[in-house]
Amino acid sequence: MATKIFRSTKYRFLAIGLSAAFLLAGVIALIVTGFNLGIDFQSGFSQKFQIAPAALSLSYQGADTVTVGVVEGDVSLTVRSAETGIKYHEFSSATYRTIGELAQAISSQISGVTVEALLSNAPTASIITGFGLPATLGETAFVEW
């Protein structure tokens, strides 16, 4: 049986030259066109939406600035006034079990804030966080989901 010998080292300089040419072409292309940040390196189109019924409608009429925030079902209202400074009002979902109870508590504790419970029997823990929060209340009603 005859043994055929392949001389792979015969073309080593050609292979090294070809590899160097490809590397040089890649470096030149990188310099000329810049680094292409493809889909792996860039954020794409991001759209947030929610499908949930509105739970609360809040509005404020007065000279102070009132902001509302929700974290894990706990609602916090911050009242900023030039005369009295900053007052924080926390409404825990452990204390106020339903949105109706929460709305009644907010209306009774903070003057000028009008709260309408759109889903009175829903649990307060189901109020969605994020989506435009914290929000500054004004005469136009802010609807929380």
- From CA 56, how far away is CA 109, in angstroms rounded? 16
**pTM for this predicted structure:** 0.57
CA angle in degrees (0–180, nearest 5) for 57-61-63: 140
What end-to-end distance do the CA atoms of the chain give, in Å?
Answer: 83
H or E stretch including 102? helix 99-109
Domain ranges of the chain: 56-144
**What does the pLDDT profile of the chain (145 residues) look like in tens digits?**
678 887 778 888 999 999 999 999 999 998 998 877 666 666 666 666 666 677 788 888 888 888 888 887 788 888 898 888 889 989 888 888 888 888 888 888 888 888 888 877 888 777 766 666 778 887 877 776 5
Question: So what's the pLDDT on residue 47?
Answer: 67
Question: So what's the pLDDT on residue 123?
Answer: 81
